Every structure is written in structure tokens, then in C-alpha cells.
Amino acid sequence: MTVRVATWNINSVNARLPKLLEWLASAQPDVLCLQELKCATDAFPFDAVAELGYETAAHGTGRWNGVAVLSKIGLADVVRGLPGQPGYLADADSAADTLIAAEPEQEPRAVAATCGPVRVWSVYVPNGREVGHAHYGYKLEWLAALREAVREDTAGARPFAVLGDFNVAPTDQDVWDVAKFEGLTHVTEPERQALADLREIGLADVFPRPLKYDHPYTFWDYRGLAFPKNYGMRIDLTYANKPFVAAVSDSYVDREARKGKGTSDHAPVVVDLAL
């Protein structure tokens, strides 16, 4: 059988719902991992995607994060929240935030499901904000928790992958100009080491096939004409175990979905499997 698996930071699922439905109808993924829902779980547009044949496991609080797995081929063994994940205490931006966050919040940044013959995690790794910021330390702790949470599935015989917005560019070639990122997050050695630690336990980076450009990016800032200039980053990744990688027949970034008005600042990444 063939299975099409995709990941997309949608940057507000309800604001982008027409774009999402259009893309689901045209690309026809069997499984789609979404990030940055920006809606509570009960506000997810379940009925709209169900009309296209998708079951959904969503996990969100209505703030700037939130994740989901959509599947046309079954949805079982759902896990909401990364086992062992650290919490984050809102620390800096206002006195109100400090009062609200009396204890670390377990943010909705991960959801897992078994979809037919494959198992996936949809993850939205913390941004990190600035090197040395508390959020940067939280990001590294979160990635360490991810490694431990997926270790068992990685070693299994079932095709398994972690897909999503990792907020890390694995190499210097994964940003349009690495000199512009000197001293900034997303390219630091500790962040890249966290990805190397995932590879150490048996996950591999499924690299998209270049289409228009030699190096496929997945994110372009809304500002400064970044998309038409191709000033991008590859931070939306598929990290997969050996059975998943062995079945990959194609993988690409769908740049067309980034074009036009009202789009996410990320493009979907599509992986086709022959199982």
C-alpha cells in the first residue's frame, strides 16, 4: 500500500481553515501532522475536516501552540502531551503573566497516534526566543524529553516518525544565510546536538527532494519579501526510524501552499511511503 504522510505548521488552524481544506483536497495526505493550532482542543474544526474523511486527535489550549494528527486510515493509541516533558513558567513579559503562571505550564506541544500501518508524533518544539533566555533552556530540556519519549517506538519494527516544527535548522545549509543567524537561536550547537541525539537513538532526517531550489526551505518570514527572495529556513522536519525510511518513495516541500495571501509562514512537507 502507499501512504502519504505530511506535516504543516498551520499558524492558526481556524484562520487558515480555507487554505487547509483546499490543500487537503488537492494533496490528499493520508496522515497530516499540524502544529501551532492557536485554538483550544474543543475549538478545532473537527467537522470541516471530517467532511473530507479525516479523524482528528487535537491537543491545544487556545494560545500560541497546539498540535494535531489528522488521519484517513485510522486513529488509535492517541497520546496527548509528551511523556516526561518539562513545564515552562512564563517569566518575563508582564506582571500579569507572572501571576497567572504560578507553576510551570505543561504546554500542548506533542500528540501521537497510530494511523494504519504507521505511528507518528506531531511536535511543536519550543522556539527558544534568545540564547541564554529561560525559554532556550526549556527548549533543550524539551528536546531531551522527546528523545526519551520516542526511544521505544524508534527501536520497533513498525514504521515510525516524529514530524513537525522543530525550530532547529540541522545544518548551515538549512538557512538562507548563516551569517545572519550568528548568536541567534535555531542554529546553535546545543540545539543541533539535540537533533544529533535523536539520530543517535536511530532516527534519520528524511530530507525533502529539491524541486524549485537546490536546498528546500520550509519557513519564510512574512517580512522583507522573504518568500519571493527565498530567504528561508528548513525547520519543519521528519525524523524517522529505519522501517519508515526504508519505505520512503518521495519527499518534498509544497511551496505552492505558501504562495498568496492569508497563508501560513510555513509550507507543508510531504513524505510518500510504499509499504
Q: How many CA atoms lie within 13 A of 8 on its CB side?
A: 32
Among the ranges given (62-66, 71-75, 90-94, 131-135), the one the predictor scored with the smallest mean pLDDT: 90-94
For residue 257, what is the DSSP state?
G
CB atoms within 10 A of CB 156: 13
Spatial CA neighbour of 247 closest among 161, 134, 152: 161
Q: In whole angstroms, give the CA distance from residue 174 to residue 270.
A: 17
Q: pLDDT at position 134, please?
A: 94
Residues 141-170 have a mean pLDDT of 98
The CATH code of the domain at 2-274 is 3.60.10.10
* pLDDT at residue 95 is higher than 60: no
Q: In whole angstroms, give the CA distance from residue 31 to residue 15.
A: 21
202 contacts 161 by C-beta, under 8 angstroms: no
Q: How many CA atoms lie within 13 A of 2 on its CB side?
A: 8
Q: pLDDT at position 101, please?
A: 47
* pLDDT at residue 91 is higher than 70: no
pLDDT band at 102; cut points 50, 70, 90: low
Q: In whole angstroms, give the CA distance from residue 10 to residue 34.
A: 6
pTM: 0.95
* pLDDT at residue 113 is higher than 60: yes
pLDDT band at 98; cut points 50, 70, 90: very low
In angstroms, what CA-CA distances link 63 with 48, 59, 108, 220? Answer: 21, 11, 9, 22
pLDDT band at 231; cut points 50, 70, 90: very high
Q: pLDDT at position 64, please?
A: 85
Cell numbers placing 201: 537513538
243 contacts 159 by C-beta, under 8 angstroms: yes
Q: In whole angstroms, give the CA distance from residue 123 to residue 162.
A: 7
Question: Tens of pLDDT along 32-88?
Answer: 999 999 999 999 999 999 999 999 999 999 888 999 999 999 999 999 999 999 999
Spatial CA neighbour of 203 closest among 233, 174, 234, 244: 244
* pLDDT at residue 227 is higher than 90: yes
Cell numbers placing 148: 526519551
* pLDDT at residue 244 is higher than 90: yes
Q: pLDDT at position 239, please?
A: 98
Among the ranges given (97-111, 167-181, 251-265), the one the predictor scored with the smallest mean pLDDT: 97-111
* pLDDT at residue 130 is higher than 50: yes
Percent share of the chain, pLDDT over 70: 96
Q: pLDDT at position 214, please?
A: 87
* pLDDT at residue 234 is higher than 50: yes
Q: In whole angstroms, give the CA distance from residue 266 to residue 133.
A: 25
In angstroms, what CA-CA distances link 144 with 83, 85, 137, 193? Answer: 11, 9, 11, 10
Q: pLDDT at position 94, please?
A: 44
